[in-house]
Structure 1
C-alpha cells in the first residue's frame, strides 16, 4: 500500500511538472496526452520470423514497471498508426498477442510494417510513445536482407568481437541456445585463430578477407531467428596529413594556355583513413582568395572519389575556366587537409608561345616517320638497295676491261665420285648456283671445269681468269673444305696477293655448319687475310627458291649491271668466248668428227649422204649412262658440269627411197642430242691429259647396235691422270 502511494505521488509530480508541456497528441489520436514521439529503438525482422515489441515507456521515460503501473490503476493500451489515424489493436491470440508490457508477433508479415504506440493512462493521467518496426524479405539467394543488417567496423590487424544482436527475448533462462554461425550464408571452416562461441565470434587479428556478412541463426520453438552483421574492414587510422598527387608538392607546375580557350585544372590527393565521420577537405585558392570570391567564369566541381580501399581514398577536385582571360594568368594553389595537418600544390598559368605546339607536333611526326623508315630499311634493306641499283645505279661492268662477272671456284674434287649420288650442297654448287646466276639473272660466270682447259701453264691461266673476273665466288661445302679445294688461293702468290690487297671482291657461300669439318681452321685463317669479303649462308634446299633472301644477298654482292637475261644458246656462246674458246671449239670439232667417222658404215661414204652420223631415232642424252672407268658410271645429268648443248635445225630427213641410215650412235659425245640439239662438250681434264677412249659393243636396242666409249690408259697416261687429280685438289 505504501508503494502504491509513492507511485501515485510520482504521477502527480510528473503531471504538475508538465503544466507547461503541450498536451496534444502528435497525430491527434489521444487528446491531452504527453507524447514522447518515436523511440530511438527500432525493430527489424525478416518476414516469417517472431518478434517482440516492448513499450518503451517502462524502460526510458518513467521510473516504474508494468506491475506497479497496473497496481496504480493505470491501463496500457496499444495502437497502430495508419496514416494520420491511430487504431486500437485487437489481439486475436493466434498470430498477435499481448503479454504484459509487450506485443508478440508469432510470425511477422510485410503488412505489419509501421509504428506501434503504447498509451499509459487513467482518467487524469496520460502518457504515450511510439515504436517503429520494419519487416523485410530476404534478398534473392541470400539468408538476410541488406536493408536490416547491423554494421560493425574493424581496423586491419586489430581484434574484433562480433555479437549476435537483439536475441535476448528468445533466450530461455538456464538453457543453452542452439546457435549456428554463417558467413555469406554458408558454413565455413574458420581459421584456427578465430574463436566461435554461442552468441559471438572472436577474431584476434583482423585481416582484409575477414570483411563480409556474418549471420547467426537461433532456433526458437518451431521458428528460426536470424541476425546479420556486416563487418567492414578499414585501414589503420592515419597519422599523416593528406598527400597532394597533382600538382606536385613543393614544385610549381607551369601550364601554358592560349587566352580564350577553356581549361580544367585537376587537383588529385590521397587521404588516409581517418574515421567514417571525417570527409576529405580539398579546395582551390588564387593567391589569398577562395574560388567563391573569383569571377563567375571560374568554378569548382564536386569532389569526386577516384579510388577507395579500406577507407583510404584518392579524390579529385577540378577548377574549370569557361574561357581563360589575361587576368586569370596567375598562381593557383590546391589545399588538402585533415585533422592531422594541411598540404598544398601549386599550378602557374602562363600564356603559350605561338607555334610551339605546331613545331613540337611537326618534330614528332618527323621522328615518327624516321622511325618507320628505319624499321622498313632494317627489314627490307636488300630489296631497297636492289631496287635503287636496278633503276638508278651505274653499270659496274662498263669500261673495266674485265670479261666475266664472277669466277666460280668450285669443282668436284674427286672425279671417281661422279657415279655416286650428289649431296644437296654439291647439287647446289654444280648446277643450281651457276644456272640461276647465268640464266635467270644474266651474269657471265667463269667455271674452271667448263671454261678452262688445263695446259702446261694451268696455274697462270687460272690466275689470268681470276684477273678477268669482277667477283670471286668460293662455295664452301663439307667435302670441298675437307679436301682443301680452296688452297690454291694460298699457294699461288698472284692469287693470294689479289685477295690480300682487295683487287677482287670475294663472296664466300657457306653451305653447311663447317665448324667441325677438318681444315676449317685454315678457311678461317683465309677469311682474315681477305680484304674485301662477304659471307652468305646457304640454308639448304629452301634457299633454292628464287624468292628466298639468299638470292637477294647473292645478287646484292654481285656487280651492278644492266639486267639482260641470257638465253640457253647465249650462255654457251659466252663460255665459248673465254680465254680458251678457240681451243675448245677446235678440240670439240676434232673429237666429234673423229667419233662420227669411226662409227659410220662404209656404204654411207659411197652414197655420199652425210659425213656425220645421223639417226631417225635420236637418243636421249639426259637419260644416257656414261662409263667413267674404274667400275663407275655417271648419268648425263651428273656430267652437266662438263657438257652443255644448244639448239640448231635438223637437216631434212631422207626419203624412203634413200639407202638405209646407219644405226644410231650412243657414245658419250654424240653430235645430236634430243630434240635436235647439238651436244657441245668442254672436254674434261682427264681427256686432255692423254687418256683415250675406244668404242665397245654395248648391246642391242631394237634393231640398232649400241656402242659406248671405254677409257683406255697406258702407264704414262695413268701417271698423267694422277697428276691431274693433284691439280684438281689444288
Structure 2
C-alpha cells in the first residue's frame, strides 16, 4: 500500500494554497493595518492592489492614508473592501511584499458585533487585553462586553487597556469585546475589537489555511446541472473550540440566503500530527445564469484569524466541429492507433493486465449493475478511522470517479440516514460489480463486524456473485487474526491469478 500512502501525501501537498491575510472591520469605525516590522531603517510603501495605485500620506479630508508601517481608514466604509499590499524596501535594493484583504461589514442596529472580528486568546490566567489598542494613540476604552452583553460584576477588574477576571472558571469562556474611542485632529472615531478567552486551553490554534479550492479558481459548469463545491481548511492542532468553514455567495453567508438550491454539509477530522481539518461542501442542485455572475467564497475562521478563497463559475466551452477539424482529428486518430499498436506489441502483458483490472467493468453491458464497486471500511471516531474516512470520502472519489470515471457506492454518501439501512446496503452490494475492502488493524481487532461486511462476504463466498479487492491501508503483517472468510479470499488470490499479479506489480 505504499502507492496509496504516496498518493495521499501528494494530493494533500498539491492542494495547499496560500491566500492573503484578511482583516474585518465594522462600517463607520476606525481601522489600522500593520505591516510586519523588519527594521526601523526600512521604507514601507502601501498599494491598493485593485487599482495598482500608491496610497499616499495623509492629506486634508482623506479617509485612507499611510503612515510608515501603518495603513489607516478613518473611518471605514463599504467601498474600502478590497485588497492592499505593503512593500518593504531594504537597503540592498531587495523588496518583500505582504498582501492584505479588507472586508468591511455593514452596521446593523441591535445586531451583535460581527463574529469574524476577533483576535486569539493570549493568556489563560484571567487577563484579557484589548486587541489593537496600542495602534491608536491616547485611545480610551468606553465599554467591555462579554458575548455582546455589557460586562458587569465584582469579579472583573478593569485596567487601562485590559480587564482581569478573578479566579476564571469555565463559564467565563467566551468572546470579550472592548469598544474604545480614538480622537484624530478633533474627530472622534469608535473601534470594536473582540478577543476569545479560554480559561484552560487544551488545544493549539494555527493561522487558518485553506487547502482547496485555490483563490481565483474558475470552475466550468453546465446550466441546469448540479454542482458540489468543496472547501477544506486546516485550523489548528487537536479539536478547536472555534472552527468554522463556510461558504459565502457575494459576501452573504449561505445560511442566510433564501435559496432552496443551495445546501451546506460540513464534517471535520484529524490528520497526521493531530492537525485539525474541517471541510464544507456547498451543494447546488441546479446551476442558473445568475450563478455565473456570482462570487463563491470559502471562509475559514478560528481563534487566531480568518482567511478566504473565492471561485467563480463559467460555462463549458461549446466547440464546433468543422470538416477541417474532423480531417485533422482523423489523422491524429490514425497516428494514435499506430502508436498504440507499437506500444501493445512491446508491453502486451502489462497492458492486458491493466485493461482487465481497470477498464473491464465498462465493457460489461446490461448486467444490471449500477456501481463499479462498493467500499467497505471501518466506521468509528478514532484518529485511524478519521484518516480512513478521509481516504474514502476524498481521495478515492477524486481519483477513481473524477479522474477515471468509475462509480463508487460509499456508505454515508450514497446511503443516507432515514432509509431502511439493511435493505439499502443489501441492494447496493447486489448492484455493485466489485467489493473494495480496506484492511486496517482496527478491522482485524474488531470483534463485531458491520452489517455491510457480512452481506458482502456472503455475496462473494456463497453466491459467488461479486469479486473482492482487498487494500491494505497499513502494514498488517500476519493474517492469522483475520476472520476466516477474509483469509479464504486472500488464499484464493494466489500468485497464479491475474488480480494478485497486478497488485504485486503496484
User: How would you bin the TM-score normalised by the shorter chain?
Assistant: 0.3 to 0.5
TM-score scaled by length of structure 2: 0.36
Q: TM-score, normalised by structure 1?
A: 0.27
Give the number of the structure with larger relative contact order, counting CA–CA contacts within 8 Å between residues 6 or more apart: 2
- Asked which structure has the greater CA Rg, the reply is 1
